Amino acid sequence: MSRLCPDVGPQPMDVQMTSSSDALLDLFEGLKYDGLPAFSDGPGKIFSMDLKDPRLKAVELRMSRNFDADSFNPHGISTFTDQSDDSVYLFVVNHPEQKSQVEIFKYIEEDHALVYLKSIKHALLNSVNDIVAVGPESFYATNDHYFNQKTLQHLEPWLGLSWCSLVLYTPQDVRVVSDGYTSANGINISPDKRHVYAMDILDHSVRVLERKEDNSLITLKSVAVGSLCDNIEVDQTTGDLWLGCHPNGWKLFLSDPQDPPGSEVIRIQNILSEHPKVSQVYADNGSVLIGSSVAAPYRGKLLIGSVYHNALCCDLRPTDLN
């Protein structure tokens, strides 16, 4: 059984579980990004959704007045919980005027509110696609392009350049920690925080990196996924990776409503083993969901976000629960 979530969309491109106990999920809509169709003239929004609520009702989060909401153009998101006081911080990749910066908010769950704390800009964060937070002001970020100029960015995939990178940002240290990506996209971290997973979307692979005490990253291997996989969600219990994917990149690029891009969800089990298991969990030709970009499991259900469409909630098959 599956159903679209009418309160969310179009373009809930990324989601983030914020609490395993109450299944609170953050997601956004309204991205305006070069090369993708825009579905709204207004600014972007952030929502929360309680997956335990059968209505799957999304609630828009209020932003504090000291934040420039009019230019808000959200892309990737991540959360960090400070174990010292249980404060939750929400990190959002923002593209005001097609530039790249990262916004940090304090998340007040009971008030459905985001308190703006700061914006982070840096020359190394030139084309940020996604982030994973590792501290109240620290994160790893993916750059999906090397060049800043749009014409050169469009040439990168055709030239086969592998110049994209992962960047570490902390208040004391900003540096490239992994490079050689054709286009670095989704990023996430293992439940024990010892491994980072980064998607090289044009290489059809997930790179597995070991995280050192100084936050440097060492590449261990790449796992082929056979699809243009976008964002990565990590099951906090099993450590499995769930990938929202684009099975046909050309259709995604053309965005023809008469022949829409399809959707695919891929799961990777035992990714740190010598023989990870890569399996397809969901697929359709675009008749149900157009352009899947992220997938988040929770207690027998799967929420799938999209580049073009509303979010879709599905019941997982018994074989996918093991």
Known binding residues for Ca(2+): 77, 129-130, 185, 230-231
Q: Of 40-54, 183-197, 224-238, 280-294, which gets the smallest average pLDDT? A: 40-54
For the record, the structure tokens of 249 come out as: 């990149």
Q: What is the pLDDT of residue 186?
A: 96
From the candidates 75, 145, 195, 309, which is the catalytic residue?
75
Q: What is the pLDDT of residue 109?
A: 87
Does 122 participate in catalysis according to the annotation? no
Please write the tens of the pLDDT for every residue from 276-287: 999 999 999 999
Alpha-carbon gap, residue 266 to 229, rounded angstroms = 8
Q: What is the pLDDT of residue 12?
A: 53
In the sheet where 74-82 sits, what is the strand order? 62-63, 113-120, 101-108, 87-94, 74-82
Please write the tens of the pLDDT for every residue from 221-242: 999 999 999 999 999 999 999 9
Peptide bond before 10: cis, by omega within 30 degrees of 0? yes
Alpha-carbon gap, residue 33 to 13, rounded angstroms = 12
For residues 88 and 112, the answer to whether their CB atoms sit within 8 Å is no
Domains of the chain, residue spans: 2-321
pLDDT of 37 strictly over 70? no
Return the percentage of the chain with pLDDT > 90, whole number: 62
Please write the tens of the pLDDT for every residue from 77-86: 999 999 999 9
Q: Of 13-17, 61-65, 252-256, 316-320, which gets the smallest average pLDDT? A: 13-17
Q: What is the pLDDT of residue 20?
A: 44
97 vs 10 pLDDT, higher one? 97
Return the CATH superfamily for domain 2-321.
TolB, C-terminal domain (2.120.10.30)
Q: What is the pLDDT of residue 28?
A: 61
Phi, psi at 56, each rounded to 5° = 50, 50
Please write the tens of the pLDDT for every residue from 87-120: 999 999 999 988 999 999 999 988 999 999 999 9
What b/e string do you get for 297-322 counting C-beta neighbours within 10 Å, with b at 16 or more? Answer: bbeebbbbbbbbbbbbbbebeeebee
Q: How confident is the model at residue 154 (pLDDT cuts 50, 70, 90)?
A: confident
One-letter amino acid identity for 290?
Answer: I
pLDDT of 2 strictly over 60? no
Return the percentage of the chain with pLDDT > 70, whole number: 88
